[in-house]
Amino acid sequence: MVTYWLIGITVAVFILQLIPALNVTNWLLFAGPYVDPTSLINAPFQPWRLLTAAFVHSVGSFWHILLNMLALWMLGRTLEPMLGRVRFLALYLISALGGSVAVALIAPFQPVVGASGAVFGLLGALLVIGRHLGANLTGIVIVLGINLLIGFIPGFQIAWQAHLGGLAIGALIGFIYARTRRLDQRGAQIGLVALTVVGLLALLLVPVLT
């Protein structure tokens, strides 16, 4: 259910992006100055862009949204039934947040769009959870490695920072889920996930302090 809702919302936003007068892409994309009041670029403080960037894609390439939504569908079919709707949604959104925070820290002036950070978060979580379950992860590792390498190829204009940030946070959330599976650990699970979000938001202070 959540997987299809995420795909549906993303596709609907993409259709709106195709209408130039609405200027949807510029309203929802992310760049570091939108969360850094001290930036030399005079940008308004708009922290919601940390998440909304995951729902907009490059209108110049249908492959961008197609590949991301295909990956979301494939990973969602495995992870959502395993985790449940709420935990899966939290994983997706927090991974997207992790990707945006990584961009803000590493390439603050680079505008980014796309669900890649969130998708890499799903991959990271699947790796960690699969390892705890004793699953064969060879295929996932190969796919992950290829996609990470593509992000570093010049000319592809891929925000590898978002990939790494989403992957790291997704793996962390997956680890939390895997280690707090019992019903009596539900409070600890919620607390650790919330602490992760707080930690990510705290990292946004780094450019300000430096």
Task: Specify the residue for token string 């019992």.
Answer: 182
Give the active site residue among 57, 95, 100, 163: 163
For the question of residue 64 being annotated catalytic, the response is no
The radius of gyration of the chain's CA atoms, rounded to the nearest angstrom, is 17
Give the active site residue among 57, 95, 100, 116: 116
Residues belonging to the active site: 116, 163
